[in-house]
């Protein structure tokens, strides 16, 4: 538990229609306040904060992310905290798209702000919201460094063979079409946690080969060798790759053209279908795995098929990433589904003994919030569950940039 006088970092995560915030101590991850503003830009919004025993909430219009920050300030006041608190040494902003350029967290100056806005062409749902969140936070906390932590940063060093689409070279260059990935903060945090854990047990981790599965509402897989990402499943946007809560993941791009020609859908409608009305929700009408697993156990046909499609996609990625890596030492699961749904892990990994993967079914079924191994001692591949903590990672990176500035 951090001392009450220890430095704090405010972490801001501006999503397309929400703004999540957390005030925490980067030294040990103690969370002092956490909350969310929801339905930003959608008429009637709502917000809530929790700070230890104290709570507060808000209902009313939240026209944009700048206004959302004012609501955050108000909620802080209502639980006896203040954004003018001089323990707050930095603000860390999660930014989804940093392009090919931003491979590290950076202090947000005019140029960086402009670049984040410009990269909104690649991530319109997220980067414009992030700029508004930054503007709103800078107005309220003008005297502390604001740091952008990019979701794409961990993947800027992907090998060219993995980062390029086989698209016409000139067109790809002109429109900056390449595979940027996403969830990088989580993939980096989890793969580093795995390495440190195994190193502490005396394993040589200099060339450790991992597949990290971040399975939340958004989902992505990465292949990491010796701490460097060599593949990842999200591409130009977070739509590519695994089956997700409401996104298709990989599809034949011609489906887009087919829907346009046959159904007359325009780009906005197709974007909506692929990103918000597909995936698990589109296949079985549910995207919470608590409901989906219960439906599968009850024999529901649509849920069973959706689960089969979900797991089949994971298997294809696990297999292909093992080959990209040349061999496999670790499979690490993280995020809401990765950490909490034994059925997904069991269906994915059963029958892969021939490839050195032996799941310990009892350990897999056990509930815990701790990092843990769920493979048998004989398994050549170590299977782990590693709770992700993107806020802590962002707080630590922002704090480090602030420390370098001060020093
Ligand atoms: P995101 O940050 O992308 O919104 P999360 O990592 O929070 O996603 O994961 C959210 C999803 O995780 C939920 O939609 C639900 O499917 C699943 N989930 C979370 N907790 C549990 C649980 N205890 N049991 C089953 N599924 C869970």
In the prediction, which pLDDT does 187 show?
98
Q: Work out which ligand 1 atom sits closest to the CA atom of 288.
A: 16
Q: Tell me the pLDDT tens digit for each residue of 169-193.
A: 999 999 999 999 999 999 999 999 9
**Does 2-150 match 202-390 in CATH topology?**
yes
How far is ligand 1, taken at its centre, from the CA of residue 335, in Å? Answer: 7
How far is ligand 1, taken at its centre, from the CA of residue 369, in Å? Answer: 13
Confidence class for position 115, pLDDT limits 50, 70, 90: very high
Cα–Cα distance for residue pair 91/399, rounded to 1 Å: 8
Query: Which superfamily does CATH assign the domain made up of 2-150 to?
Result: ATPase, nucleotide binding domain (3.30.420.40)
How far is ligand 1, taken at its centre, from the CA of residue 315, in Å? Answer: 20
How far is ligand 1, taken at its centre, from the CA of residue 336, in Å? Answer: 3
In the prediction, which pLDDT does 152 show?
97
Q: What is the DSSP string of 39-99?
A: STTSSEEEEEEEETTEEEEEEEE--SHHHHHHHHHHHHHHTT--TT-TTEEEEEEEES--T
Residue 3 has pLDDT above 80, yes or no: no
Q: Which of 217, 284, 295, 394 to mutate to test the pocket of ligand 1 (most atoms within 8 A of CB)?
A: 217
Nearest CA to ligand 1 atom 15: 288
Please tell me the pTM assigned to this model: 0.94
Ligand 1 is surrounded, with C-beta below 6 A, by 216-218, 245, 287-290, 335-337, 340-341
Q: Work out which ligand 1 atom sits closest to the CA atom of 217.
A: 3
Nearest CA to ligand 1 atom 12: 336
Q: Tell me the pLDDT tens digit for each residue of 249-281.
A: 999 999 999 999 999 999 999 999 999 999 999
Q: Which of 294, 336, 386 to mutate to test the pocket of ligand 1 (most atoms within 8 A of CB)?
A: 336
Note whether 330 and 230 are within 8 A (CB): no
- 3-class SS of residue 389: coil
The kind and range of the H/E element at 134 are helix 127-140
Q: In what order do the strands lie in the sheet with 31-38?
A: 54-61, 44-51, 31-38, 18-24, 8-14, 88-95, 146-150, 106-107
- For the chain, the average pLDDT equals 96
* Mean pLDDT value across residues 326-336: 97
Residue 407 has pLDDT above 90, yes or no: no
How far is ligand 1, taken at its centre, from the CA of residue 237, in Å? Answer: 21
Percentage of residues of the chain with pLDDT beyond 70: 100
Residues with catalytic function: 151
Cα–Cα distance for residue pair 137/122, rounded to 1 Å: 23
Domain boundaries, the chain: 2-150, 202-390
Q: What is the DSSP string of 140-186?
A: H-TTS-EEEEETTGGGTT--HHHH--SS-HHHHHHTT-S---S-HHH
CATH code of the domain occupying 202-390: 3.30.420.40
Cα–Cα distance for residue pair 91/141, rounded to 1 Å: 8
* Mean pLDDT value across residues 341-369: 97
Q: Find the DSSP H helices in 264-389.
A: 267-276, 279-284, 289-297, 301-325, 335-340, 342-349, 361-365
Cα–Cα distance for residue pair 62/66, rounded to 1 Å: 9
Q: Tell me the pLDDT tens digit for each residue of 227-249.
A: 999 999 999 999 999 999 999 99
Note whether 21 and 36 are within 8 A (CB): yes
- The pair of three-digit structure tokens given for residue 245, joined into one six-digit string: 């809560």
Q: Which of 189, 212, 216, 345 to mutate to test the pocket of ligand 1 (most atoms within 8 A of CB)?
A: 216
Confidence class for position 347, pLDDT limits 50, 70, 90: very high
Q: Which of 337, 344, 386, 389 to mutate to test the pocket of ligand 1 (most atoms within 8 A of CB)?
A: 337
Residue 2 has pLDDT above 80, yes or no: no
DSSP structure class, residue 375: B
Residue 4 has pLDDT above 80, yes or no: no
Q: Work out which ligand 1 atom sits closest to the CA atom of 292.
A: 16
Confidence class for position 1, pLDDT limits 50, 70, 90: low
How far is ligand 1, taken at its centre, from the CA of residue 186, in Å? Answer: 15
- The pair of three-digit structure tokens given for residue 338, joined into one six-digit string: 């990765």
Nearest CA to ligand 1 atom 2: 216
In the prediction, which pLDDT does 406 show?
87
How far is ligand 1, taken at its centre, from the CA of residue 337, in Å? Answer: 5
Q: Work out which ligand 1 atom sits closest to the CA atom of 219.
A: 3
Cα–Cα distance for residue pair 407/401, rounded to 1 Å: 10
């Amino acid at each position: 538990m951090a001392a009450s006088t220890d430095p704090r970092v405010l972490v801001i995560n501006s999503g397309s229609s929400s703004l999540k915030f957390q005030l925490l101590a980067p030294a040990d991850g103690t969370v002092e306040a956490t909350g969310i503003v929801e339905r930003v830009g959608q008429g009637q919004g709502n917000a809530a904060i929790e700070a230890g025993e104290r709570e507060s909430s808000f209902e009313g219009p939240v026209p944009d992310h700048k206004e959302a920050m004012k609501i955050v300030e108000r909620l802080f006041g209502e639980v006896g905290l203040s954004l003018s608190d001089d323990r707050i040494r930095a603000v860390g902003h999660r930014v989804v798209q940093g392009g090919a350029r931003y491979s590290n967290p950076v202090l947000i100056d005019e140029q960086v702000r402009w670049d984040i806005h410009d990269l909104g062409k690649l991530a319109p749902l997220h980067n414009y919201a992030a700029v508004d969140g930054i503007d709103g936070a800078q107005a309220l906390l003008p005297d502390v460094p604001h740091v952008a932590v990019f979701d794409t940063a961990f993947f800027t060093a992907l090998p060219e063979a993995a980062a390029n689409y086989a698209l016409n070279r000139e067109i790809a260059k002109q429109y900056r079409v390449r595979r940027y990935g996403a969830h990088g903060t989580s993939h980096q945090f989890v793969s580093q946690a795995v390495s440190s854990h195994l190193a502490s047990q005396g394993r040589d981790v200099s060339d450790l080969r991992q597949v990290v599965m971040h399975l939340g509402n958004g989902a992505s897989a990465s292949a990491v060798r010796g701490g460097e990402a060599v593949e990842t499943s999200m591409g130009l946007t977070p739509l590519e790759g695994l089956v997700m809560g409401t996104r298709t993941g990989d599809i034949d791009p011609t489906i887009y053209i087919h829907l346009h020609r046959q159904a007359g859908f325009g780009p906005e409608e197709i974007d909506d279908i692929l990103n918000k009305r597909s995936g698990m929700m589109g296949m079985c009408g549910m995207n919470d795995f608590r409901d989906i697993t219960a439906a599968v156990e009850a024999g529901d046909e649509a849920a069973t098929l959706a689960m089969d499609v979900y797991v089949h996609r994971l298997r294809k990625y696990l297999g292909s990433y093992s080959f990209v890596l040349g061999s496999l030492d670790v499979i690490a699961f993280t995020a809401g589904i990765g950490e909490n749904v034994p059925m997904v892990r069991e269906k994915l990994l059963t029958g892969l003994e021939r490839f050195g993967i032996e799941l310990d079914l009892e350990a897999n079924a056990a509930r815990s919030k701790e990092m843990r191994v769920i493979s048998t001692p004989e398994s050549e591949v170590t299977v782990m569950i590693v709770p992700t903590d993107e806020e802590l990672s962002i707080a630590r990176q922002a704090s480090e940039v602030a420390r370098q500035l001060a020093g």
